[in-house]
Structures are given as C-alpha cells and as structure tokens.
Structure 1
C-alpha cells in the first residue's frame, strides 16, 4: 500500500484491442502487473505440481506394497 501511495505519477495504460487509453498511478500499474504475473505463473505451475504429487503418491504406494511383499516372515516362538 505504501508503494502505491508513494508512486502516484500518472502512467498511460493502453488497452490494446479496444484502443482506449487511461492514466493510472504508476504504483497501481506495477502492482497489477506483479499480481497478474504471479497468477499467470501459478496457473502454469499448479497442473505440473499436481501431476508430480499424484506420481509421488503412486510411487510411495508401490514402494509400500513391494516392502510388504518382501518383508521377512514374523519370528516363530515356541
């Protein structure tokens, strides 16, 4: 918020396909660009992360199955 209030110089922003131009505070332009970049990066990153999490869970499940199958038999006591 302080960044936005400190950078109040006007910056012309053009909305390309519509041909409109608006004067926004420079701080708002920078913050909006950062938020949009973060959200775009998150949108590209999350599907890959979810796929890797599914793969890791399958691998852990498979490893547990193999360990259970190869476990030594319990000791027999008389």
Structure 2
C-alpha cells in the first residue's frame, strides 16, 4: 500500500483546497465526503482527504466524526495523519 497521508478536514472547501495543493505538489490524492462505510482500493493513492462538516455541527458530533475518520484512515494504512 502506498498511502502516505490521511487528512481530516472540517469542511468541504478546506478539504478541496488541501486536495488541490497535494495534487499540485505531485501526490496522487482522493477526496471523500464523510467517512466511507467500507474499505477502499487505495493502492494507487498517496493521500486521502476526508471532508467532514465538523465546523458547523455540535461539538460532540464533530469529535465523533473526526475520530471515525481517523479510525478509517488508519484502517486504510495511512502512515501520517493531518487535521485541517
């Protein structure tokens, strides 16, 4: 597996900006909306950005969703995690 970076963004716009910068920097990047329900085939991907709505939801939901995104990224083999 080549997944180097897993990123958790607190909104769609920030996730898109980050994914764009990663691609411009030469990384193969995928952006997902919310935490996927299943594992993904990320064999040809360097980075995954998970877009959440955690900026605009209650704090308890934001923490729950962020931790779920973290767990999913770890399950996918992300070696580094970045929270934006």
**Structure 1 length-normalised TM:** 0.31
| Structure with the larger strand share | 2
Higher RCO (CA 8 Å, separation ≥ 6 residues): 2
* Rg larger for: 1
| Structure with the larger helix share | 1
